[in-house]
Structure 1
Amino acid sequence: MSQSLIVTGMVLSTMPIGEFDKRVVLLTRELGEISAFARGARRPRSQLLAATGPMAFGTFELYEGLNSYTLARASIEAYFLEIAEDYDKVCLAAYFLEMAEYYGIENSDESQRLLLLYQTLRALASDKFSPRLLRIIYEIRTMGINGEYPDVFSCAACGRKEGLAYFHMGRRAVICSDCQPVEGGRPISASALYAFQFILSAPMKKLFSFRLTDPVEEEVWQLLREYQGRYLEHSFKAEAFLSSPGKG
């Protein structure tokens, strides 16, 4: 048998294979997004039964075959049971997991995506953030990781970094007050602009260290919804099960 590999990661999704096996998709720090077969993981007494559930985070021992990996053992650090006990939280977590799986790449550095997912699930479990703010942070930072985010740091017309008071949806960027009469664009408040800038640039461990007032959260939410509706070509299945995100 080939030499084993130890990776740190999270189970994004799982699929039954045959009578007792599972196929799991893992987002890992070392190998990016990979698929692995877990033999006998559906047996009631299998040590891999709980370790192969969505959101399970820890270390996984794998054996590499010709075309796939086999999961041999796992040591789970977090199951996020607080989320699993709440239907609305489960649906929101499923949305985050599905988005991570859609964008995850094999044999790529996905450490930032993994850390974002882990920190977001911790925040979801804590009950300290509104579902809408969690989506705002996760979606904007995911765009940052993908390298496909709006330019909110300098004017798209002149490059100026001050007086950024408008957002131009067609340019996917902000516009300064001097250029707006020619370029157009909708007003964006200083607080909403700062929220975008902070989410895109803050160290990952400080990402969930702020709150937004209701009006600012609403402004950012509406701008983000229009932006993604125009530029995000993929629709996520889990989004259909999400309740209308508000302050609760």
Structure 2
Amino acid sequence: MNELEKLTGMVLKQAPIGEFDKRLVLLTREHGKVTVFAKGARRQNSPLLAPTNPFVFGVFFCFRGRDSFRLSQVEAKEYFRELSMDLELAMYGFYFLEFADYYTRENNDESEMLKLLYGAMKALIRGKQDKRLIRYTFELKAMVLNGEYPEVFACTGCGKKEGLFAFSLRDNGFLCETCAKGRGRRVKTSTVYTFQYIVSSPVGKVFAFDVTEEILQEIQWIMEGFRKKWIDHAFHSLQMLETGENS
């Protein structure tokens, strides 16, 4: 018989299988994204019922199969129940789960993405930052971890590092005042610094700042434009989230 493996991770999504079972997708520290089957997890008296729901973070004890794992037990560390008690928080949380699911792969080192996802959930619950800022910080840092993000430290036209003046979606980054003539949109210096901070900071520190509404609006314009340009995917949870934000 295969040995029991310990997987530290978070439930990204679940789906019913048959009458009483669940199919889970976990983001784990050890194996990246994995598929796990939880037998009997939909039974009302099952010890696997609660810890196999989305958002749950913990240690999952599994037997490895050829293409998936079979769940034996769970030591849940965080349920993030606060998210399920607030509709808006839940919509943000589900969007983060779907975004992480899109960006991660099986048998890949996704430990930093797991740490980012966990930090984003914690930031939502703390409530010290604007939820929109948490969202754009999460999106940008996830892009950084995936290796595709805008140039934020030098002008994309001439390479100059000082006096970044505008952002150009066409040029995928910031421009100095000279290169920005005829293209790009002017932004505040604080917006440039915010992007540089998110890109360069360790994952554990990216949710430790705040900005004014004016700066947040500029971040929103850049991130929404960059995401639409580079991510060819329709996030169902994002459609629901943006409907809620605009209502």
Is there any run of 5+ residues in structure 2 with no aligned partner, and where?
none
> Which residue of structure 2 lines up, in the alignment, with residue 110 of structure 1?
110
Paired residues of 2:13 and 2:24 also in contact (CA < 8 A): yes
Relative to structure 1, the CA distance from residue 225 to residue 7 in structure 2 (aligned partners, 3 Å threshold; closer, same or farther) is same
Q: Which amino acid aligns with 2:105?
A: I
Deviation at 1:244, TM superposition (A): 4.6
> Which residue of structure 2 lines up, in the alignment, with residue 64 of structure 1?
64
Distance 1:224 1:67 in 2: 36
Distance 2:70 2:190 in 1: 48
Distance 1:176 1:98 in 2: 35
> Which residue of structure 1 lines up, in the alignment, with residue 213 of structure 2?
214
Distance 1:161 1:221 in 2: 23
> Which residue of structure 2 lines up, in the alignment, with residue 89 of structure 1?
89
Q: Which amino acid aligns with 1:58?
A: G
Paired residues of 2:88 and 2:244 also in contact (CA < 8 A): no
> Which secondary structure state, in structure 2, belongs to the residue aligned with residue 15 of structure 1?
strand
Deviation at 1:231, TM superposition (A): 2.5
Number of aligned residues = 245
1:13 matched to 2:2? The reply is no
Deviation at 1:178, TM superposition (A): 3.2
Relative to structure 1, the CA distance from residue 66 to residue 229 in structure 2 (aligned partners, 3 Å threshold; closer, same or farther) is closer
Which TM-score applies when normalising by structure 2?
Answer: 0.95
1:105-160 CA-to-partner distances (Å, cap 9, x unmatched) read 10001011100100000011112222211111111111111111000111112221
Relative to structure 1, the CA distance from residue 244 to residue 130 in structure 2 (aligned partners, 3 Å threshold; closer, same or farther) is farther
Paired residues of 2:169 and 2:222 also in contact (CA < 8 A): no
* Pairing 1:1-248 to 2, within 5 Å after superposition: 1-181=1-181, 184-242=183-241, 243-245=243-245
Deviation at 1:67, TM superposition (A): 2.5
Q: Which amino acid aligns with 2:47?
A: Q
> Which secondary structure state, in structure 2, belongs to the residue aligned with residue 7 of structure 1?
strand
> Which secondary structure state, in structure 1, belongs to the residue aligned with residue 9 of structure 2?
strand
Deviation at 1:179, TM superposition (A): 2.8
Deviation at 1:14, TM superposition (A): 0.3
How high is the sequence identity, in percent, across the aligned residues? 41
Paired residues of 2:167 and 2:222 also in contact (CA < 8 A): no
Give RMSD over aligned pairs.
1.4
Which TM-score applies when normalising by structure 1?
Answer: 0.95
